[in-house]
Structure 1
Amino acid sequence: MTSVEDTSAKPSRLPHQTDEYLAENQGPGVATVCIVLASISTIFVLLRLFTRGKIMAKLHADDWLATLSVLFQWACVAFVILAIKAGNGRHFDTLSIDEREGTIFWTILGLPMGMLAFSIPKLGVAVLLTRIMNPTKQHRLAVWGLTSFCASTVVASIILIFAQCTPMRALWDLSVVDKKCIPGSVVVDFLIFSGSVSAFTDLYLALYPATVLFKLQLNIRKKIALSVALGIGSVATVIAIKKCTRLPALAEKDFTYKTSDLVLWVVGEGTTIIVASCIPLLQPLVDLIFGRRALNSSENNGYSRFPVSRLGRKKRDTELGLGTGKRGERHKVTSVDDLAEVGSQDTILRTLDYVKLADHHHDGKPGQDMSPSNRILRTDVVTITYDNKSEHGDMDGARDIRDPDASGNGTSWPKAEAVAL
């Protein structure tokens, strides 16, 4: 009669397994940190959706990508908790067969979710930068080429994780004997390559906006503030590098203990990118709460918050209130997205003209030229008539605006007219 092995039974205690060794468990701490990181991502995305959807009344593709990223991140956290419940975080040789299989199964499901959670926000950042920076063709190709290549390496990594063994069930089912598997070192090496691409992409997406902003004619305080807001994603580069250094432990026998913190770096990278992509878009919410421009130091940089800017445009997305140039020649950059209207990296320093203001600013004269040489000055002219004699104030360029139907006797009402110079 064949005996059936009890897969739920703990293995026999080995000489090196001291009480301290058996008690070691990193799982609870890992689960707590993952939940905190995912919660931070969720808070920032909710604030972003409120700002863009409620205050700005317009959602963009990058907002939905950020939302999708958070959903993948929570899926990753859920699988991490299930893996920890099965035994992840403890030493592999202390786990029963069931615990080992459960740990491997849930970890295999969790890692791809985390990888999608930090790769999708990169696409969202690419959408945002393309819209607000109005890059040249070369930079546009660089941004989209790099982010697309990064996403493709992540997808390839996920496919490799699930396809490394035939049948797939052999990945977690330790009872499968007849199987063919790719060496674990090959999988780890490709994951390191994918992680390196991710780190470089994070760095490029963080530095590119700074190079553009520092060429703008802005004061140094605003340049630094905007560069930091758009460049927080550079922190994700450090996290991605640290993650790559932890990947080789996946091929070790005691991977359940030695790589239990790997998921922290996976989730942490996603959180950093999500937060970095949200912060620059929350300025309208800050203004709504504090009633002032958080990045401005003078009243000249104020604006009418919602819904129309002083140039007659609808306010677009992030209100960062940048005023450049002299008072009489200033182009009001009232939002991050307004940077797109200033021009690309190659043309952003050109002289800015006031052109084609909104219809309601010109009494039904759309498209009126408002370049500095054709600006309109308002001149108030008061005409007082006594016995068919007019006394006019000495105003250069002023003309009699008396009512042509007036009789010429008595006093006409004061009138005002805009005179084009």
Structure 2
Amino acid sequence: MALGTGKASVAFLILRIMGKSFWRRAFLIYGAMIASFVFCSLAIILTFAQCRPVEALWNPSLVEMGKARCWPPARQADFSVFAGSWLAFMDLAMAIIPITIIWKLQISLQRKVAICCLMGCGVFACISGAIKTSKLLQLTARSDLTCTHLSSIRAFEISMLTIESDITVSLWIWNAWVIPDKENFSFIPLTLDQE
């Protein structure tokens, strides 16, 4: 669910940057945001609905003893691959769309590059999402996946979404550490409309 809400956060940020002049893009962003949230919700529901009782997910001996029934694991894996592909595509789209908007803003080139680099973190989220999606076929094993590399890939993807969605703090860090200007430095987070 963190992936769905992370993408919603980035989408709301993009909508805020766009303003009211890009209503067609806004309509697409709202649709994509709702679809991402629905796909993440369905993935959670399908995960817990695939075995009765749910304990059979982490205790496969229940199925072998006939005390539990499970769907074929390929159903869950197929939906997970679909949802993962969609979310990776959304990461890429949420990285590219703001660049086309920010480049048209009346701000300094230095600030445009900084904002585009920060919003471009979605590309890294897309790459990690694609890697994670390619590994999702391991779900058919119904083993404990909590300690595999999938967890670290998902954590990296969520980290990139967090950086991208919290651009105000990221810009403050960028201005404080990458482009230090000690004379004009303040602890008030910078906004996009400041020069």
TM-score bucket of the superposed structures, by smaller chain: 0.7 to 0.9
Partner of 1:164: 50
What does 1:269-288 correspond to in 2, within 5 Å?
269-284=157-172
How far, CA to CA, are the matches of 2:45 and 2:104 in structure 1? 42
Counterpart of 2:133 in structure 1 is: 244
Distance between the aligned counterparts of 2:15 and 2:130, measured in 1? Answer: 26
Return the match for 1:214 from 103, 111, 114. 103
Cα 1:285/1:262, change in 2 over 3 Å: closer
Which position in structure 2 is the counterpart of 1:319? 191
When normalised by structure 1's length, the TM-score is: 0.40
Letter in 2 for 1:131: R
Instruction: Give 1:161 shift.
Output: 0.4
2:13 corresponds to which residue? 128
Alpha-carbon spacing, 1:240–1:319, altered in 2? closer, same or farther (3 Å): same
Moved over 6 A (4+): none
Q: 1:279 to 1:131 in 2, by over 3 A?
A: closer
Residues 229 and 280 of structure 1 are in contact (CA less than 8 Å); yes or no, is this contact kept in structure 2? no
- Which residue in the other structure is 1:140 paired with? 26
Alignment of 1:21-60 (within 5 A): none
Name the amino acid aligned to 2:14: L
Report the equivalent of 1:27.
none
> What is the alpha-carbon root mean square deviation over aligned residues?
3.0
CA contact (8 A) 2:114 2:171 kept: no
Q: Distance in 1 between matches of 2:84 and 2:126?
A: 10
1:218 CA drift (Å): 4.6
Cα distance in 2 between the residues matched to 1:211 and 1:229? 14
Contact 1:199-1:240 within 8 A present in 2 as well: yes
The equivalent of 2:152 in structure 1 is: 264
Separation in 2 of the partners of 1:225 and 1:214? 11
Q: Which residue is equivalent to 2:36?
A: 150
The CA distance in 2 between the partners of 1:189 and 1:236, in whole Å, is 21
CA displacement 1:261-320 (0-9 Å, x = unmatched): 111111221111112222443444666x67xx9388xx9xx69x588xxxxxxxxx6335
Supply the distance in 2 between the matched residues of 1:199 and 1:129 (Cα, whole angstroms): 17
Structure 2 CA distance for aligned equivalents of residues 250 and 277 of structure 1: 29
Bigger drift between 205-214 and 226-235 goes to 226-235
Contact kept in structure 1, 2:81 and 2:133, CA below 8 Å: yes
Tell me, in whole angstroms, the C-alpha distance in 2 between the residues paired with 1:286 and 1:223.
Answer: 12
Assess if the C-alpha contact under 8 Å between 1:233 and 1:277 holds in 2: no
Change in CA separation of 1:281 and 1:181 when aligned onto 2, cut-off 3 Å: same
| Maintained 8 Å contact 1:130/1:140 | yes
**Map of 1:414 onto structure 2:** none
- 1:286 and 1:262 map into 2 onto residues whose CA distance is 30
- Report if the CA contact (8 A) 2:6-2:165 is conserved: yes
Separation (CA, whole Å) in 2 of partners of 1:140 and 1:119: 17
The equivalences for 1:223-372 within 5 A come to: 223-252=112-141, 255-256=143-144, 260-284=148-172, 294=179, 318-319=190-191, 333-334=193-194
Q: How many matched pairs?
A: 189
**Structure 2 unaligned runs (5+)?**
none
Provide TM-score, normalisation by structure 2.
0.81
Q: Which has the higher contact order (CA 8 A, sep 6+)?
A: 2
Helix, strand or coil at the partner of 2:62: coil
Which entry has the higher C-alpha Rg, 1 or 2? 1
- Report the Cα offset of residue 168 of structure 1: 2.4
Q: Are the structure 2 counterparts of residues 152 and 134 from structure 1 closer, same or farther at C-alpha, using a change threshold of 3 Å?
A: same
1:282 and 1:318 in contact (8 A); partners too: no
Instruction: For 2:23 and 2:174, locate their aligned partners in 1 and report how far apart those are by CA, in whole Å.
Output: 34
Deviations 1:218-248 (A, max 9, x none): 5544322221122212210000000011111
Percent pairwise identity? 28
CA spacing shift, 1:285–1:295, aligned 2, 3 Å: closer
Q: Which has the higher helix share?
A: 2
Determine which of 86, 92, 97 is the counterpart of 1:197. 86
- For 1:149, give the aligned amino acid: A
